[in-house]
Amino acid sequence: MKDEQIKNTILEFIDLLMPELTPYESSLYLFFLRNTFFKNNSSQVRIGFRIIGRGFGQGPKSKMPADKTIQNNIKQLEEKSCIVIGDTTREGTLYTLRLPHEIPLVIEKIKSSQESVNTEVDDYFNNPEKRKELFKRDNYTCVYCGEKVTSENSTLDHLFPQWKGGTHSKDNLKTACLTCNSIKSGKSYEEAAPLLLKRIQDKKDKNS
């Protein structure tokens, strides 16, 4: 994970996910986050209860055995769709961690926030006539790769992603071809820039 992604993930956890978790669940989620995305840049980790216990601990007020406490909290995280529990081998159980913005209860919060924001601004995304205004503004040209688009294959991309609070305002919407929109989808421009530049270079190499 890059520094900006780590920052965004922590903010999403604090602002959106943590209020929905118990202190134990929050601690365990952070333990998994540290040992997946932050440590290995992967959503998965195979680990046993003993190792989790060393890193997570039982907690001073718990009267249950540490492994039982951990097991119960892992089950709660699974029920809240924060993790997916896979198979178990001698090396431990395979866990897949979902980032905050991938978790249904957080998605619902983001959606509600967006709906509230979008009612306060002109909606240039869902209004057909206003969409045409933006295509004309951008001269029916993808702002990312410079490729000409038509009324049939043109799309509007949210420069600041919706899940991060990006609105349907005209300043946040840019004309994009289908390919660039697919690459950019859900990412900030800074996150998508290397992939978009690679697409442009690949096009040049193909045409040369």
What does the pLDDT look like over 126-160, one tens digit per residue?
888 999 999 999 999 999 999 999 878 889 999 88
Quick one: pLDDT band at residue 114, thresholds 50, 70, 90?
Answer: low
**Quick one: residue 186, left, alpha or beta (phi over 0 = left, psi -120 to 50 = alpha)?**
left
| Nearest by Cα to 176 from 184, 164, 167, 168 | 184
- Please tell me whether the overall predicted TM-score, pTM, comes out greater than 0.75 for this model: no
Beta carbons of 173 and 157 less than 8 angstroms apart:
yes
- Residue at 175: amino acid letter: T
Closest-CA residue to 33 (of 91, 87, 96, 81): 96
CB-count exposure of residue 180 (10 Å: 0-12, 13-18, 19+): buried
Mention every residue, 6+ apart, whose C-beta is less than 8 A from residue 187.
Answer: 161
Average pLDDT over residues 74-80: 95
- Asked if residue 163 lies in contact with residue 157, where contact means CB atoms within 8 angstroms, the answer is no
For residue 64, name the pLDDT band (cuts at 50, 70, 90).
very low
- Compute the average pLDDT of residues 199-203: 83
CA-to-CA separations, 5 to 8, 89, 134, 151, 164, in angstroms, rounded: 5, 32, 30, 34, 12
pLDDT above 60: residue 177: yes
Check residue 69 and give its pLDDT.
Answer: 82
Write down the H helix ranges in the chain: 3-12, 23-33, 39-40, 49-56, 66-79, 104-118, 128-137, 178-184, 189-207
